[in-house]
Chains A and B, each alone.
Chain A
Amino acid sequence: MKPAPLIVGAGPAGIRAAATLVRAGLRPVVVDEAPAPGGQIYRQPLVPDGRSPEARYGSEAGKAQRLHAEFAGLLNRIDYRPETLVWNLGQGAADLMHAEKTTRLAYDGLLLAAGATDRILPFPGWTTSGVFTLGGAQIALKAQGVSIGERVVFAGSGPLLYLVAWQYLTAGVRVAGVLECAPFSAKFNLVQGFFHEPRTVLLGLRYAAALRMAGVPMRFGASDLAVAGETRVTGIGWQEGRRKYHLACDAIGFALGLKPETQLADLAGCAFAFSPRDCAHLPTRDGAGRSSVAGTYIAGDGAGIMGADAAERAGERAALALIEDRALPFDAARAILLEKQLATMSRFRDAMAKAFPFPEDWSIADETLICRCEEIAAGEARAAIRQFGSTEINRLKAVSRLGMGRCQGRVCGAGIAEILAEESGQSLAAVGRLRGQAPVKPVPLTLLDTLPEAAE
């Protein structure tokens, strides 16, 4: 008998994919690191904290509840494994870790819906205690009901910047400022975006308006961010043009948009190509979500940032492709409709990428730490590039240790690529990407084996 399909990730894409496979009579295994389904956006609290879904998810509460309920309805028709990490893939099987035990699971059909993490570039003081990623700041609030500080500045770029700032504001935290790295003029691209997804744009404008009404300073074109404070954040400095500014604060949430989690696609052997829109090397896929490897599908932000609504559709579309490829009956008309909707959403995403552009000239001073695990400063990275004539990112890693530590480049990869591109006079596309290596996250040496199993 054929093993079951494996879905990695129980966020919007993974949940919709699971529901679609179940409707086709399959019983997928669904693996997620988190203790409860929902993914990053619809993350559930670790323990009930008395807050309503409206308080937790704001405008998206309806969608969150619908997906949570949909998943609950699937529970006895799927093999759901929460708190489980896929730490390795290979030879048609996945190595799954749960509670320090590992299992090898053979699958027939792999649907990767692993989502995204914050993208960051280093700036002076970014490793000071009190600096968080925007996503980290959001999870603290959403899942644990705690704030990262008492006077918080949010900086960087991307729609999440305003959403998180607004969520903090509504939770009663003092938001000391919002510093957007993109120029104000970039926001005119939202007009284009409005045309495709008016609701999303209006929501964004509502967040911004609420922040402004509450008297939160909102700045645009902020460059040269610098954290003040030796052991803890005491403030943040920045420039607008030539003028320098400073704000006192005790915590900072920072990110420059999101970055797809692609290690599993890499371990699965998927082909990658540079995506100018995401400024990153991403697994290639067709409109349905089929990767270059037969039987491996990619959906949601893990394939390229499109947001939660698109992730739901992409998850369903990829699941339909899996069903079709298994020669089971599938709803072709639905597949076409989903692809159409995804195409529209993709045009919206084009506009958003212009409204929140990835900074083109992020200067990183020699003293700034770039790889925090290995404690390597930008100047040392530049020296290694010159000494060894590096032009390719994996070769640079080999001679410098950049990206070799605990995070395996997940945090520092964007910064390393930036410096290598600048120093070697190449484009981000040309310097390549850090090849993914197992384990996807650190695993204990004492990892115990349980018998290999094939999902029924």
Chain B
Amino acid sequence: MSARFDVAIIGGGLVGTSAALSLARSGRSVVLLDKGFCGAQASGVNYGGVRRQGRPPEQLPLAQRAHGIWPELARLIGIDGEFIRSGHLKLARDEADMATLEAYAARVAEFGLDLELIGRNSLAERFGWVNSSLCGASFCAGDGHANPRLVASGFAIAARRTGVDVREKTAVTGFLRLAEGFSLETETGATFSVRYLVNAAGAWADTFAALAGEPVPLTRIYPSMIVTEPVAPLMSVNIGMEGGGIYARQAPHGSCIIGGERGAVLENPDFSRPTGEGARTIMNRTAEIFPALKHAQAIRFWSGTEGAMPDRNPVLGLSSTMPGLIHAFGFTGAGFQLAPGVGEVIADLVRMGETNTAIDAFSIDRFFAPTTKTARIPYGSGAGLLPQPEKTGVPS
């Protein structure tokens, strides 16, 4: 006999756990399934940047919704997750970078990010610890950073406390569309029948989209991080750079965390590691941009596995083929800040079938040619069953 729930969520990252928490708080019965441990993938190992600045305008309504939730973490999940509204400073190397920052500020003015453009002199005055050869910056005082390990674990614990049935080490192996709702199969043999199904499987979500007849061009990226030994307070803000390069923040206990470059995937594709070359590049750039760190040491490197979409926007919204199925994945390296807002949007979609937050740009059918769009899967066809893992390389 399969257990019944209103909602099943595939994936215990921040997207899945924040949706689960929101749904459970509004009285829905929820089962949340993760193939490993909640928060052990992108949500728990990311850089920890909580930033709206730099996002494309179409992401800003969602980012603003999340922005309202971050300062409420202590109330919502019982811990503040070391969230600090430090501000986010995006550096310009040269005039061209500065012009890009200015153009961006003008383009997003209507969204209320309150960006402040900072020239060379005032940059040196206010942020003397940044290399004085930089040309200027754009500052977003309302952005900040947090500890992803705590935030991701905190949401999972809070969801469980609120009554969500959290099943770790329980990989979903397939689902079947029923006349009403879905039935789910798992690696452990446990089965579930549910009214709604949320695909929040992160970098693994494409398999479930494909099952629904909605193949998406998801690829995996592996951002790399290094962390220094604890040093005296230095970085008062979260740092980014126009055009990429590195991003950096200092955690409350003193370590500086610096991201950049891409890692290499391991034999088990769920895991990746920074390359020696990549790590060294980040380290050298760090010492150059923050001269005070010249004598610091790097004590740890890591990278994580993230699902990316070609247009850098996530997939978020109702399935175009199966009523009751909701997709939320492909955050392309920027879903940490968004996730608490995404969870609420998912809950809206379950409760009301729609949401007040603008998410049209993220609909899954943007990837289908009009012809494939009509190829719908009939209910109860059994087409939703996953092929055997060894044949298709489905991650387990």
A-to-B contact residues, CB < 8 Å: 87-88, 90-91, 93, 95, 102, 104, 267, 269, 374, 387-389, 392, 394-395, 398-399, 401, 404-406, 408, 437-439, 442-449
Contacts and interface: CB of A to CB of B under 8 A. Distances in A.
B127 interface: no
- 5 shortest A-B CB distances, which residue pairs? A95-B276, A442-B297, A398-B149, A88-B276, A445-B287
B108 to A, nearest CB: 34
A84 to B, nearest CB: 14
Given A91-B264, A374-B253, A398-B44, A446 B299 contact: no
Nearest to B40: A395
B267 A408 contact: no
Given A91-B275, A102-B276, A446-B294, A387 B283 contact: no
Contacts of B302: 437
Interface string B244-278: 00000000010000000000101100000111110
A394 B55 CA distance: 32
Contacts of A389: 157, 160
A248 B392 CA distance: 68
B319 interface: no
B286 interface: yes
B279 A445 contact: no
A268 to B, nearest CB: 11
Given A401-B253, A445-B287, A406 B157 contact: no
B5 interface: no
B205 to A, nearest CB: 23
B153 A442 contact: no
14 contacts: A88-B301, A91-B264, A398-B153, A399-B149, A399-B153, A405-B229, A406-B299, A408-B300, A438-B279, A443-B297, A444-B296, A445-B284, A445-B297, A449-B277
A90 B267 contact: no
B298 A90 contact: no
Interface in B299-322: 299-302
Contact of B294 (A394, A405, A445): A445
Given A95-B276, A446-B284, A439 B300 contact: yes
Given A398-B153, A399-B149, A445 B283 contact: yes
A445 B149 contact: no
A349 B294 CA distance: 47
Contacts of B149: 398-399
A394 B271 CA distance: 14
Most buried by A among B40, B283, B298, B299: B299
Contacts, number: 96
A447 B283 contact: yes
A438 B298 CA distance: 10
B228 interface: yes
Interface string B224-241: 000011100000000000
A92 to B, nearest CB: 11
B157 to A, nearest CB: 6
A408 B299 contact: yes
A28 B273 CA distance: 27
A104 B277 contact: yes
Contacts of B299: 405-406, 408, 439, 442
Contacts of B266: 269
A220 to B, nearest CB: 39
A22 B364 CA distance: 61
A91 B228 CA distance: 24
Nearest to A444: B297
A388 B297 contact: no
A340 to B, nearest CB: 34
A446 B40 CA distance: 31
Contacts of A387: 157
B280 A102 contact: yes
A53 B149 CA distance: 52
Interface string B101-127: 000000000000000000000000000
Contacts of A448: 284
Nearest to B37: A395
A447 B295 contact: no
A442 B276 contact: no
Nearest to A389: B157
A211 B274 CA distance: 51
A380 to B, nearest CB: 13
Interface string B207-231: 0000000000000000000001110
Nearest to B149: A398
Nearest to B290: A445
Given A90-B264, A437-B302, A445 B273 contact: no
Nearest to B274: A438
A426 to B, nearest CB: 14
B318 to A, nearest CB: 33
Nearest to A449: B280
B178 interface: no
B300 A437 contact: yes
Contact of A445 (B40, B275, B296): B296
B295 to A, nearest CB: 7
Contacts of B264: 90-91
B298 A442 contact: yes
Contacts of B280: 95, 102, 447, 449
Contacts of B275: 90-91
A442 B299 CA distance: 5
A395 B273 CA distance: 18
B177 to A, nearest CB: 34
Most buried by B among A90, A394, A406, A446: A446
A49 to B, nearest CB: 31
A405 B71 CA distance: 28
A444 B287 CA distance: 9
Nearest to B302: A437
A439 B301 CA distance: 7
Contacts of A406: 229, 299
A449 B284 CA distance: 10
A116 B264 CA distance: 29
A404 B298 CA distance: 12
B386 interface: no
A338 B150 CA distance: 50
A299 to B, nearest CB: 23
Given A102-B280, A399-B150, A399-B153, A443 B300 contact: no
Nearest to B166: A389
